[in-house]
Structure 1
Amino acid sequence: MTAGTVYSGSHWQRYATGNADEAHAYIRRAFFDVKVRFSGVGRDGAGLSTVSTGLADIGVTRLHYSARTQLQTAPDGDLNITHMMSGRFTIARDRDEYRLRPGDVALMLPDQPEDADFDDIDAFITRLPRTLLEEVAHARTGISGASLRFDSSRPISAALGRHWTQTVSHLTRSVLSDPALLTNPLIIGNTRHLLAATALAVFPNTAHDLALGAAGEVTPRALRRAVAYVDDHADQPITVDEIAAAAGVRPRALQLAFRRHRGTTPTRYVRQVRLERAHRDLQAADPATGVTVTLIARRWGFTHLGRFSTDYRAAYGCSPSHTLRT
């Protein structure tokens, strides 16, 4: 799939300007407030061009900016993660300087100002709302929103940096390229939480080092309430916090109870139930009516068809297409 195909469709908005002030105003609207210290526009002006879209409260932007610019960020708490395609980009705070190379990823710190110096950059920027990060971090570790802080613009490791770019690339090509998927609540919910969980895993933050106290014991009855809630709401977006609330326990306690008594996590159990529902739909469907494996997989929130087929074969011993045909 070519880049042009990925960014096609009316759900992608395009913007271009050669005026430096307009370019800076765009950066403030799309990402965060900035104090510009230097802007060395070329013969063709600022040379800003973007193509962008959104998934609920998440924004994604492919941006090219040819001007040499130095600025200081004034972040608002949301996360802006940059994947550098080409150009020169340096982020500095105090004495810590991070010089990105093509392929590198960086987090603009959401709660602290940083100095940025860039020239002729081509980058893919993902903006995640703070509330989403706090929700996912709380569900996974029990950390409060006020305690969640990011400590560095660098990923924890190069491998994790690559994991971020691979995750975003997959979602861009398999979800954002298809307007029909952008209205599917299961796919929207899965994608939002996957991006937030990946960001929490890739960049240093206080959730990594949180020393959790006793999570609390989960009774068999509470675990049954959690399972029943998932079974009854598998066709809707579900968060760990919502499952825990239905069970009447803390999210961290629920995580531990699922691991201890079911050998899985609440999130994986949700995926298992949806896989079972897809299996039933495949058994009941008549391919002569135009029903396809892709249609059923997406109905239950599975956007990566290769992974869906692998998981399906592991669970049922045959391919989804075989079940549909027979």
Structure 2
Amino acid sequence: MTAGTVYSGSHWQRYATGDTDEAHAYIRRAFFDVKVRFSGEGRDGAGLRTITTGLADVGVTRLHYSARTQLQTAPDGDLNITHMMTGRFTIARDKDEYRLRPGDVALMLPDQPEDADFDDIDSFTTRLPRALLEEVAHAQTGISGADLRFDSSRPISVALGRHWTRTVSHLTRSVLSDPALMANPLIAGNARHLLAATALAVFPNTAHDRALRAAGEVTPRALRRAVAYIDDHADQPITVEQVAAAAGVRPRALQLAFRRHHDTTPMRYARQVRLERAHRDLQAADPTTGITITMIAMRWGFTHLGRFSTDYRAAYGSSPSHTLRT
């Protein structure tokens, strides 16, 4: 990814400084408080250059920092996940040391201090608010926010680490490149929840080991309430937890009920509803008025047009363009 092609537009804010104290102040504002133990400037001083934007309460930052720096973090509960592209970066806690190589990803523990040592790095950091993670973890597993803890800076596996970088890269190119998409509450909500769910899957945390609570019984009436809620709110960003609350059942129980009675999940059902709404809009649209497939797909939260076309063809036996023309 190059700053000139991906990070363009007024919604990306740039910052640069050669002053070490100002660089440290930026790190404290953007990520977490730190106690600096050593900072060795290069020929251009601290050499800090950043470009950043936000998706509601989620922050993303491309950062170049040339100064050799050693510090200890003072985390505030939010997650900062870094994909290191070049440079040297080591994270240590007690006797556990994680030396990142280019392409690796790391989580700065949100509840425990760590030592960091980095030099001439080019990285991409995603900051996720604690409240969002607790919401998604509770919807997936029933775990309470107070019990959600992350145990390691390393991803569970190399493959999952790559999954994180692919997810962030896709969202950067398909959503963060367009302010109109970022302002769409359905698209922004889906993107935020995707990042949180991916973080929970990639890094070790107590939600992985938490025994699921007894699912409980979901009555046919409760299931109908859930379906009605999804149907009525398909144009809005909704979560499993919100649907379960509307139905008066637990999120895990709702997921099991959807699998048992509809052979799908609540969120996949919501996607099917949105695909059907897009189909109706394509049937009703007049292409001579300037209505496009992209406009209709984006309205219903489909940011990946290739995937939208594939799913549409599988569901309706023809392409979106054919439906729009006929």
- TM-score surpassing 0.5? yes
2:314 is paired with a residue of what secondary structure? helix
Q: Is the aligned partner of 1:235 residue 2:240?
A: no
Which amino acid letter does the alignment assign opposite residue 85 of structure 2? M
Deviations 1:202-248 (A, max 9, x none): 11111111111311110011000000010011111111111111101
Which amino acid letter does the alignment assign opposite residue 317 of structure 1? G
Instruction: Output aligned runs, 1:192-203, within 5 Å.
Output: 192-203=192-203
Deviations 1:88-117 (A, max 9, x none): 000011111111011100000000100000
Which amino acid letter does the alignment assign opposite residue 286 of structure 1? D
Instruction: Output aligned runs, 1:91-102, within 5 Å.
Output: 91-102=91-102
Partner of 1:249: 249
**Aligned residues with identical type, % of pairs:** 89
Distance 1:293 1:250 in 2: 37
Which amino acid letter does the alignment assign opposite residue 120 of structure 1? D
CA 1:3 to 1:321, structure 2 compared with 1: closer, same or farther past 3 Å? farther
Distance 1:88 1:42 in 2: 15
Mapped contact 2:58–2:126 kept (Cα < 8 A): yes
CA 1:93 to 1:120, structure 2 compared with 1: closer, same or farther past 3 Å? same
Which amino acid letter does the alignment assign opposite residue 144 of structure 2? S
Instruction: Output aligned runs, 1:149-164, within 5 Å.
Output: 149-164=149-164
Partner of 1:165: 165
Partner of 1:118: 118
Q: Is the aligned partner of 1:57 residue 2:57?
A: yes
Residue 123 (structure 1) shift: 0.1
Deviations 1:47-77 (A, max 9, x none): 0000000000000000000000000000000
Which amino acid letter does the alignment assign opposite residue 224 of structure 1? R
Which amino acid letter does the alignment assign opposite residue 176 of structure 1? L
Partner of 2:205: 205
Residue 308 (structure 1) shift: 0.9
Q: Which residues of structure 1 form unaligned runs of 5+?
A: none
Partner of 2:294: 294
Distance 1:2 1:156 in 2: 28
Which amino acid letter does the alignment assign opposite residue 187 of structure 2? I
Residue 26 (structure 1) shift: 0.2
Partner of 1:139: 139
Instruction: Output aligned runs, 1:169-318, within 5 Å.
Output: 169-318=169-318
Distance 1:187 1:23 in 2: 33
Residue 179 (structure 1) shift: 1.0
Partner of 1:32: 32
CA 1:191 to 1:159, structure 2 compared with 1: closer, same or farther past 3 Å? same
2:235 is paired with a residue of what secondary structure? coil
2:153 is paired with a residue of what secondary structure? coil
Alpha carbon RMSD of aligned pairs, Å? 0.9
Deviates more, 1:216-225 or 1:235-244: 235-244
Residue 309 (structure 1) shift: 1.1
Distance 1:2 1:324 in 2: 36
Which amino acid letter does the alignment assign opposite residue 132 of structure 1? L
Distance 2:2 2:37 in 1: 37
2:195 is paired with a residue of what secondary structure? helix
Distance 2:273 2:213 in 1: 31
Partner of 1:70: 70
Which amino acid letter does the alignment assign opposite residue 191 of structure 1? A
Which amino acid letter does the alignment assign opposite residue 35 of structure 1? K
1:204 is paired with a residue of what secondary structure? coil
1:44 is paired with a residue of what secondary structure? coil
1:151 is paired with a residue of what secondary structure? coil
Distance 2:134 2:259 in 1: 23
Distance 1:305 1:72 in 2: 44
Distance 2:81 2:95 in 1: 21
Residue 2 (structure 1) shift: 5.0
Q: Is the aligned partner of 1:19 residue 2:19?
A: yes
Which amino acid letter does the alignment assign opposite residue 8 of structure 1? S
Distance 1:318 1:144 in 2: 45
Deviations 1:147-195 (A, max 9, x none): 1110110111111111100010010011111111111010011001000
**Alignment length, in residue pairs?**
326
Distance 2:321 2:209 in 1: 45
| TM-score for both structures, normalised by structure 2 | 0.99
1:6 is paired with a residue of what secondary structure? coil
Deviates more, 1:204-213 or 1:69-78: 204-213
Q: Is the aligned partner of 1:127 residue 2:127?
A: yes
Mapped contact 2:142–2:213 kept (Cα < 8 A): no
Distance 2:207 2:307 in 1: 29
